[in-house]
Amino acid sequence: MARINYGVISLIPKVVGATDIRQFLPITVINVLERIFAKVCATRLSLMAERIAHPLQSTFLKGRRIHDGIFALHEIVHEVVSKRLKGVFLKLDFQKAYDRLDWSFLRLVM
């Protein structure tokens, strides 16, 4: 019987003549059954996420863009300045989480 949780990691070169691990994009080729299961789960979770996510959650949800947060911030700043209110603006983290990869973990897995 075929395993449904089986996948093969393939490295796709980002540049011609790639020699360093950072020049490759890792992708996983997974079993068809797992792909269907993942799609069903993702579809169901997206319906739930729409209901529980905060309206200002601007990424990772269908129909929302990372720029929505910037536009919302602009409106808030405009409101504070135009009404001469006192306030503090604090930028904590506006980096995309998927821009990071733990290379030591990836090397260990491979």
Domain boundaries, the chain: 1-52, 56-92
Cα dihedral across residues 105, 107, 108, 110: positive or negative: positive
Q: Which tokens go with 93?
A: 């983290």
Specify the 3-state DSSP secondary structure of 51. helix
Q: Which residue has the higher pLDDT, 56 or 42?
A: 42
pLDDT of residue 57: 75
Report the C-alpha gap between 27 and 11 in whole angstroms. Answer: 6
Q: Is the pTM of this model over 0.85?
A: no
pLDDT of residue 104: 77
Q: Which residue has the higher pLDDT, 44 or 100?
A: 44
